[in-house]
Chain A
């Protein structure tokens, strides 16, 4: 069965960095685009970033562009989100999610359990 497990969250001071990881199993990771989606406390969903199946393309939300970097290691079935220059407004639960179809971006059919990132002094 498909599993996505996020790790690396925690409390960090404004301006500092954090790297999230998402370890995947139960499907051929290298065939699927992967996304990060976040949710501030009590708020709605915000799409953050996507990386194509072979890592040739990445796209970002305007709110994180230039500060966050999405990457993947297909040999380790792992997705990453490097978050630099963190701000209070980056606080929230971060989900990794898998594309429903291989080689194509259309919808997200499996999500991790989410990992909390708190940016606070």
Chain B
């Protein structure tokens, strides 16, 4: 079955430390890939997206993600975490690259940042 896996439910890092959030998908072809962030009590905000081309994509708030076809992964990274990055992060895929918007979301990773 098609699925998106975020293996880490919770991650805690110290402010200033680096961060990597994992995302794996299982689809036959390369889907469109997204990372969203949800701050407490808020809606979802797009951090970055990958459709094609350069496999390292830059997003807002200093985040980047790397698409690795061989590993079916799209991991999110940030070199130095700020306290304001504490939030829940969702990986999502649009498995039909014609853009049907039937996103499949991962279960999310909740990030806690220690001062």
A-B interaction: no
**Residues in A lying within 8 Å of B, measured CB to CB:** none
